[in-house]
Amino acid sequence: MLQETAMETYLNWIKANGGTFKKIEFKHDSLGVGCVYTTQTVQEDENFATVPFKLCITENLARKALPDLGSFSGRIVQTLYLLLQRHSREDSFYWPYINILPKVIKTPLVFDDHDMRFIQNTNLESTTRERKAALFLDFEKLLEHLPEEIDKNDITWEDFLWGYSVFSSRSFPYTLIDPTFEGSSEVLFPLVDALNHKPNTKITWSRNGDPETGSLSFVAGQAINAGEEIFNNYGPKYNEFDHVAVKPNFSQDPNQETKLNILKQCQVSSDNADPLVFYFHRNNMPRAFFKLMRVLVMNSLETEHYAMCTDGNLLDFVGYRNEITMISMTLSLFKSKLYALKSVQLEKEHIPYWQTFALMYRAGQEDILDITIKKVEEMKHSLIQQMHQEEKEDKIAPCAPFLSIVNPLYFQQQDSSIELTSNEFVTLDTVVMTAKRVLNNDATFAAIISENFEPEEEADIIMMLCLVRENSKPDSRFRRFFDRVTAAQSNSVTSAPATDAAAEDRAELKEMYDSMIPAFHEAYPDVFDLKVFSFEAFVWADMILNSYSIENPLAIVPL
Ligand SMILES: C[S@@+](CC[C@H](N)C(=O)[O-])C[C@H]1O[C@@H](n2cnc3c(N)ncnc32)[C@H](O)[C@@H]1O
C-alpha cells in the first residue's frame, strides 16, 4: 500500500473528527503560497466546508496544559503549546495539522539582512526590529519556565519564531468560536486557515453548537467557478499595512513639557495604543494629527497663549504663522519619509515571493505618501490664497497676537466667509514680509544693507533693520500689522514682569545695538536717524521676529 501523504493524513484527520468538505483541493501557487481551489462549481449559499471546534488550538487549551505561565500573553503560551505538540509528533492529537503547516513562515521576524533591505526605511522595519527584540526577552524568560520534562535545547529561538509566526500569520479571533467572549484571544483553526484573503469576498462563516462540541461552516456568498481559488475575507483588519504610521517627535523641543500638556488638556490623541502615533490611509488624514502638529510648531508666544487652553477646537487653527510652519513641517516630514523609501535600490526580478510582497508593501507606502503630500500641498495652496485675499482686502484680526484663541470669532468667520475663487498662482513670498520685499521698494536702504551685510548669514539682523525702517514709513503696507502688535506689546510690557531670561536677552540686544547703530548713524546719518533706530525700536523688532516669523525663508507673517 502506498504511504499516505501528510496532506491525506490531515484531511482524513479532519473527516475522522466530524469535519466535512467538498469540491475543494489544496495547492500551492506559483509563488509558493498555499491556496484552496474548487474542483467543481460551488453555488451561491452552498456550504462547502464544516470544521469542528475540537480541532482548534485555543488559548484556554494551552493555558490549561501550561498552568505555570500565567504571566505570559496568550500568544506566547499558545506558541509554546504548539511547539510542545510538534515535539511530541505522532503522539499529539494535532500532529496531522502541525505536520502540514508551512515549515518556513516568511514573516519579517525571520527576514535575514538581505530580506530586511526590502523593508528598509518603512514602518514595518522599525516595528519588526522592536517586536523581535521584545520577543527575544519573552523567549529567554519562557526558557526559565518550561515544564520539567522539556529540555531547554528542545526549543530553539528559530522554533519559537516559527511558532509565533504561525499565530501571527494564521490565527483567528476566538470570538469565531464563542461570540460572547470578551477580551482578545486567538485560535488556530485547521482548514479554516487554509483560505487566503481577498477583500470584499462574499463568504459567510456560520457557527453551529456550543464552543466545545460545535463547528464552523463556510457558506459561499457568490458562485465560484470550477478551478478558481476560494478566498476568505479576514475583514478590514487584515489591511493593517495599508497605512503609513507617523510619530512626530517632541523630544528635541525645549518646550516639550508645556506642549505635551496642551495636547493633554485639549485631549488631542490619535486614539491608538500610542497616542502620538497616527495612521495615514489613502483616503484619510487624521484631523488630530494636524492639531498635534500645530502644537508642535508653536513658538513661545503661541504656547504662552495656549498654555491654559482646554478646547481642542481652538487647535483647528492657531494662526497664520503657525499654520504655515505646521504645513512646512508636515511636508518635510512626509517628504523625508518618501525620500528614504525611494533611496533604497532593490532588485525587482527573480526574487522570492516574500520579497515581492515587501516590494508591493513599499509601493503601497509610497503611494500613500504621494497622496498625502499632494493633499498637504493643496492645504498650503489654499492657505496662501486665503492670506492673499485677506491682505488684498486689508483684513486683519482685531487683536494682536493674531491667534484664534485671542480672536476666536474672527477666525471662525474666516473659514466660512472666504471663497477661494482665484486661480492665479500666489506664492508664499507675496503674502509675507521678507527682507527682499522691503528692500525692493527702498533703494537707499537696500544699498546700505548690501554694502554691510551678508544676506544669508545675517538674515536675522537684516530683518530687524528692515522692520524698524519699514515701521518708520507712515504708508507702509504693513502699517495695520505694526500698529496692532505695537499696541499689544505696550499692554503686555506694563503687565508682565520681566524674567531673568528676558533681562539677559535684553542685555544681549543692547550689546548688539551699541556695537552697530551708533556707527551706522555716523556713516549714514540721514537713514539711521537715532529717533527711528532707537534701542526700543530694536527691542520691538526683536519681539516681532520672535513672535511672528517663519523660517526657510525667514519672513514675517503680518496677519
Ligand atoms: C490563514 S493563512 C492562509 C493560507 C496560507 N497561504 C498557507 O499557505 O497555508 C494566512 C496567510 O496566508 C498568506 N496570504 C493570505 N492571503 C493572501 C493573498 N491574498 N495573497 C498572498 N498571500 C496571502 C499570508 O501570508 C497570510 O499571513
Closest-CA residue, ligand 1 atom 19, reads 197
**CA distances in angstroms from 531 to 510, 521, 539, listed in the order given:** 16, 11, 14
Q: How far is the CA of 30 from the centre of ligand 1 (A)?
A: 13
- The reply to whether ligand 1 has any atom less than 6 angstroms from the CB of 36 is no
Q: How far is the CA of 33 from the centre of ligand 1 (A)?
A: 7
Residue from 445, 458, 435 nearest 512 by CA: 458
Structure letter (DSSP) for residue 43: P
- Please state, in angstroms and rounded to a whole number, the distance separating the CA atoms of residues 347 and 506: 59
Residue from 265, 269, 317 nearest 292 by CA: 269
Instruction: Reply yes or no on whether the pLDDT at 497 is more than 80.
Output: no
- The reply to whether ligand 1 has any atom less than 6 angstroms from the CB of 169 is yes
Instruction: Reply yes or no on whether the pLDDT at 495 is more than 50.
Output: no
**CA distances in angstroms from 240 to 123, 124, 158, 244, 465, listed in the order given:** 12, 11, 25, 10, 54
Q: How far is the CA of 272 from the centre of ligand 1 (A)?
A: 26
pLDDT (0 to 100) of residue 422: 58
Cα angle 85, 86, 87; round to 5: 90
Instruction: Reply yes or no on whether the pLDDT at 86 is more than 90.
Output: yes
- The reply to whether ligand 1 has any atom less than 6 angstroms from the CB of 201 is no
pLDDT (0 to 100) of residue 180: 94
Does residue 330 or residue 552 have the better pLDDT?
330
Does residue 76 or residue 235 have the better pLDDT?
76
- The reply to whether ligand 1 has any atom less than 6 angstroms from the CB of 196 is yes
Closest-CA residue, ligand 1 atom 12, reads 196
Phi, psi of 14 (to 5 degrees): -60, -45
Residue from 443, 442, 467 nearest 558 by CA: 467
The SS3 assignment for 213 reads coil
pLDDT in tens, 322-356: 999 999 999 999 999 999 999 999 999 999 989 99
pLDDT in tens, 266-318: 999 999 989 999 999 998 899 999 999 999 999 999 999 999 999 999 999 99
536: how many CB neighbours lie within 10 A of its CB?
7
**CA distances in angstroms from 91 to 96, 118, 555, listed in the order given:** 10, 40, 76
pLDDT (0 to 100) of residue 116: 97
pLDDT tier at 414, thresholds 50, 70, 90: low
Q: Mind listing the domains of the chain with CATH numbers?
A: 57-188 (3.90.1410.10), 244-399 (3.90.1420.10), 432-556 (no CATH)
- Please state, in angstroms and rounded to a whole number, the distance separating the CA atoms of residues 122 and 243: 11
- The reply to whether ligand 1 has any atom less than 6 angstroms from the CB of 102 is yes
The whole-number average pLDDT for the span 520-549 is 95
pLDDT (0 to 100) of residue 406: 93
R_g of the chain, CA atoms, integer Å = 33
The whole-number average pLDDT for the span 533-545 is 95
**Ligand 1 probe mutation, 197, 231, 239, most atoms within 8 A of CB:** 197
Q: To the nearest whole percent, how much of the chain has pLDDT over 90?
A: 80
Q: Dmax of the chain from CA atoms?
A: 113
- Please state, in angstroms and rounded to a whole number, the distance separating the CA atoms of residues 130 and 138: 13
pLDDT (0 to 100) of residue 40: 95
Instruction: Reply yes or no on whether the pLDDT at 137 is more than 80.
Output: yes
pLDDT tier at 236, thresholds 50, 70, 90: low
pLDDT (0 to 100) of residue 426: 83
pLDDT in tens, 396-407: 898 899 999 999
CB distance 548 to 485 below 8 Å: yes
Closest-CA residue, ligand 1 atom 2, reads 170
Closest-CA residue, ligand 1 atom 23, reads 196
Structure letter (DSSP) for residue 69: G
pLDDT (0 to 100) of residue 233: 87
- The reply to whether ligand 1 has any atom less than 6 angstroms from the CB of 321 is no
Cα angle 207, 213, 214; round to 5: 10
- The reply to whether ligand 1 has any atom less than 6 angstroms from the CB of 178 is no
- Please state, in angstroms and rounded to a whole number, the distance separating the CA atoms of residues 10 and 51: 13
- Please state, in angstroms and rounded to a whole number, the distance separating the CA atoms of residues 315 and 302: 11
Closest atom of ligand 1 relative to the 106 alpha carbon? 25
Instruction: Reply yes or no on whether the pLDDT at 365 is more than 50.
Output: yes
- The reply to whether ligand 1 has any atom less than 6 angstroms from the CB of 34 is yes
pLDDT tier at 150, thresholds 50, 70, 90: confident
Helix (H) or strand (E) holding 187: strand 186-188
The whole-number average pLDDT for the span 212-231 is 94
How confident is the prediction for the chain on average, in pLDDT?
92
Peptide bond into 286 cis (omega under 30): no
pLDDT in tens, 42-60: 999 999 999 999 999 999 9
Q: How far is the CA of 199 from the centre of ligand 1 (A)?
A: 13
- Please state, in angstroms and rounded to a whole number, the distance separating the CA atoms of residues 158 and 341: 29
Q: How far is the CA of 96 from the centre of ligand 1 (A)?
A: 20
- Please state, in angstroms and rounded to a whole number, the distance separating the CA atoms of residues 252 and 331: 19
Closest-CA residue, ligand 1 atom 4, reads 194
